[in-house]
Amino acid sequence: MQGQNMKLDARIIIRIIALIALIVSLCILAVYIIGDMRDAQSDRNIDDLKNNDVKLPDVLDEYAGLYAENSDTVGWLKIDGTEIDNVVMFAPDEIDKYLHRDFYGNDSYRGCLFVDEFCDVLHSDNLIIYGHNMKDGSMFGTLDKYASKSFYSEHKYIQFDTIYEKHTYEVVAAIKTSIPPDNEDCFRYYEYTAVDDEEMFIEYIQFIEQNRLYDTGIELEPVDKLLTLSTCAYHTTDGRFVVVAKQVD
């Protein structure tokens, strides 16, 4: 009889644990669903702010509404053939501010696209933009389409406007790399944001040429202005997928 009671108690405990696990799973799922709904609403609000009737000195009319709502707005990135069509943020005084915040400053696991805090948006030779590799394709979730040369061949150009000027960039390279440990002597592409430093620029060009997944036939020179798009990748520990483009207009 005692053995039967013990078996019964064990079954009850197992059922309680299973119920708790189910409740926790449902709570986590609810958090993600609510987050997705809020992000979707945020996207709609951002679209409404773009091309509205706000006028600001020196700021392009197309982006004046966005800048008026959040002065961290630095531009807009669009790549045909992908879902990348997003506002870009810049907060040099607060590192990774938009890593997990949306345009309105709310917590968001997908965050925003944002420029590296060490860049000078108007003068840097290389502007680096980061974004999460989201499974739903948002942010930089479709950037890795450039791993395919055939995709590159049909989508060679990237539009990145600052709030002051419109620019077109031609894709130069797609690269699979990784973030090295602090004590490891490896190339840190994310440190190459210099202004008028020809030596660093040449080092970056060498990294691109040695690591690109396919030959685009495009050569770089120290006078070029570059755009580097960076997201997480899973081919190795701390992997990154990088697309480099040069300004052509």
pLDDT by residue, tens only, the chain of 249 residues: 555 555 556 667 777 776 676 676 665 555 555 555 555 556 666 777 776 666 666 899 999 999 999 999 999 999 999 999 999 999 999 999 999 999 999 999 899 999 999 998 888 889 999 999 999 999 999 999 999 999 999 999 999 999 999 999 999 999 999 988 765 767 899 999 876 788 888 899 999 999 999 999 999 988 899 999 999 999 998 999 999 999 999
* Residue 95 · residue 117 · CB < 8 Å: yes
pTM for the predicted model, two decimal places: 0.81
Could you give the CA distance from residue 5 to residue 56 in angstroms, rounded to a whole number? Answer: 76
pLDDT tens sequence across 120-160: 888 888 999 999 999 999 999 999 999 999 999 999 999 99
